Structure 1
């Protein structure tokens, strides 16, 4: 009985395994790109590329700038120097434009994260960066920084336009609150909207909720004017978003409204609470 010979690999069109060239030498393909652990800076670079390359960012901040600068310029042109109240500051007239400019900022904050869940892009994002906390942190940092810079440019320009057109008493603290203070507050509201978008994962629902959060307390307070619920009306007037934003311009809607630092503390606390909840639920929910 003879033992059948082993067929040569080329007999059936198969590929023979490569012969080792030395003890311990690695065979196969080796990537020329060095491998390293992903960091927060990598996530920040990725989120910056995303936010600056989508049209919604350009449109949202473009509308914000148009509202803040456009309304401020119209007010400056419509009013004359004699129309300014004695001892008043023209900077306070920028309040209306900033209040309306918050709307596109909130919309962009929601869409920064909820749009990825709507399109399924979040799966690709989490494949590239499996750490969900790192992804959310990168989105929050990039969005907050960009919102602060754009808001600071808008508020500084409209303040300069109003002061140059109408004049009036203007001090360094007024400039600081109406530019830096307002910009920080707007960035916090945008972060709060991003947290709501991360929790709900639905763009339309999150945007609607944010609009109600900004406007509903003030509307309810107006309807409670002729009711026995005077205490509730006062509370809503003091702590509504328009009233808190007005304190930075010295135009609070209630006599005992919180000051600038207190308004920043309230909005910062709410933002930290809901962002913390979003971080907590990120790893406990499906994509």
Structure 2
């Protein structure tokens, strides 16, 4: 008579770990295999770390942000140097810090492009499926992308605008009788940086809504450039109010407010352009979240 078969002895468990219970094939516990590796639920911090790793690994990040810094600092410096060489003492009128406006306006374009690519490129390559497999919470993915992108672009824009403002003040400070107030400094550096970084978030939301890089980039460029151009062709009495509204609330005009421009009695003043773009971006991000949760990857 053969002896009944018995399960093999359990292997010794590592120190501090409960021994695994042996079982024959077909007699696995109801819960299935339990990995000895500790597993915890992913958090927003994990998603932020992953998104930071991705955005700093993309070549498009280096090229777009490098172009933005070159344009903002380069054009701002060039305008300041040219103005310094062609003006005499006490011959500069207006806000000195406003000489950085053109550089910021042009440097905004590659930044908006990066905002779109931050999420639309994953849909184009299919990487979004891997991202959502690792982090099934789509709101967490969108929030992590928004936090990483906003923080990165805000810091770099603040550095660039501060350097240009210091250069403008250093070169032109003795060419005008008007000083630079603290509020002008804050609006031309902190205010501009918040406005531009929030516009970048808007482009990220548009990229999530359209899921097409070329279409979303074209849409953002149209949002920046078309309203001022269309207003030039609305000179007849019937459409003149529409043209005035387009130029008053266009992105270039609102950006100019931070450099001391006045858009008339009906136009935004002070920090109003920032509140406007924050409201529009919040609505767009809400639409992007709804789109991500209701549509397949």
**2:15 matched residue in structure 1:** none
Tell me the CA shift for residue 254 of structure 1: 4.7
Q: 1:251 aligns with which of 249, 261, 283?
A: 261
Tell me the CA shift for residue 228 of structure 1: 3.7
**1:223 matched residue in structure 2:** 233
Query: Is the 8 Å Cα contact of residues 133 and 279 (structure 1) preserved in structure 2?
Result: yes
Pairing of 1:16-35 with structure 2 (within 5 A):
19-21=8-10, 25-27=20-22, 31=35, 33-35=37-39
**1:163 matched residue in structure 2:** 169
**1:11 matched residue in structure 2:** none
**2:119 matched residue in structure 1:** 113
Tell me the CA shift for residue 36 of structure 1: 0.5
**2:109 matched residue in structure 1:** 103
Tell me the CA shift for residue 252 of structure 1: 4.1
Query: Is the 8 Å Cα contact of residues 227 and 246 (structure 2) preserved in structure 1?
Result: yes
User: Structure 1, residues 143-198: CA drift from partner, whole Å, max 9, x if none?
Assistant: 00111001100100011111111124211100000000000000110000000000
Q: Which moved more, 1:162-171 or 1:74-83?
A: 74-83
Query: Is the 8 Å Cα contact of residues 43 and 135 (structure 1) preserved in structure 2?
Result: yes
Query: Is the 8 Å Cα contact of residues 95 and 260 (structure 2) preserved in structure 1?
Result: no
User: Structure 1, residues 24-46: CA drift from partner, whole Å, max 9, x if none?
Assistant: 84349865532111000000000
- The alignment's TM-score, normalised by the length of structure 1, stands at 0.89
Pairing of 1:244-283 with structure 2 (within 5 A):
244-254=254-264, 256-283=266-293
- The alignment's TM-score, normalised by the length of structure 2, stands at 0.86
Pairing of 1:160-199 with structure 2 (within 5 A):
160-167=166-173, 168=176, 169-199=179-209
Residues 164 and 226 (structure 1), Cα distance of their counterparts in 2 relative to 1, 3 Å cut: farther
Instruction: Say what the alpha-carbon RMSD is for the aligned residues.
Output: 2.4
Query: Is the 8 Å Cα contact of residues 72 and 161 (structure 2) preserved in structure 1?
Result: yes
Query: Is the 8 Å Cα contact of residues 72 and 97 (structure 1) preserved in structure 2?
Result: yes
1:114 & 1:254 partners in 2: Cα distance? 38
**1:212 matched residue in structure 2:** 222
Q: 1:232 aligns with which of 227, 242, 249?
A: 242
**1:12 matched residue in structure 2:** none
Matching of residue 62 in structure 1 with residue 57 in structure 2 = no
Gaps of at least 5 residues in structure 1 are: 7-15
Tell me the CA shift for residue 127 of structure 1: 1.0
Q: 1:47 aligns with which of 51, 64, 72?
A: 51
Tell me the CA shift for residue 251 of structure 1: 2.2
Aligned length: 274
Which secondary structure state, in structure 1, belongs to the residue aligned with residue 114 of structure 2? helix
